Amino acid sequence: MFYVYILYSKKLKKRYIGVTEDLKKRIEKHNKGDGSIFTKKGRPWILIHYQAFLQKEDAYAEEAFFKTGKGRERLKYLLQHTMEEL
């Protein structure tokens, strides 16, 4: 399985979108500061959304879509109540 995941940092008030095969381990790495340069600054990160895919190419296509204007609109719609809580 491949996962597209969305993390949120209250500290930065930003989202981070990524792809991984091991969702739990990847979130732990982000929160330990081993994730990426960007996520190191925003700890702690909380998981607000994920999707599972059988094929890696489909997961990367969805990640790329979420990073477009239409994708950000879709996320705003999908996560409107979640973002109000944060």
How far apart are the C-alpha atoms of 39 and 70, rounded to whole Å? Answer: 23
26 in Cβ contact with 7 (< 8 Å) = no
How far apart are the C-alpha atoms of 14 and 47, rounded to whole Å? Answer: 12
Print pLDDT tens along the chain (86 aa).
999 999 999 999 999 999 999 999 999 999 998 878 888 999 999 999 999 999 999 999 999 999 999 999 999 999 999 988 88
Identify the residue whose tokens are 């950000």. Answer: 72
> What is the rounded end-to-end Cα distance, in angstroms, of the chain?
29
**Selection from 16, 13, 4, 5 nearest residue 57 by Cα:** 4
pTM: 0.93
CATH 3.30.70 assigned to 2-85:
no
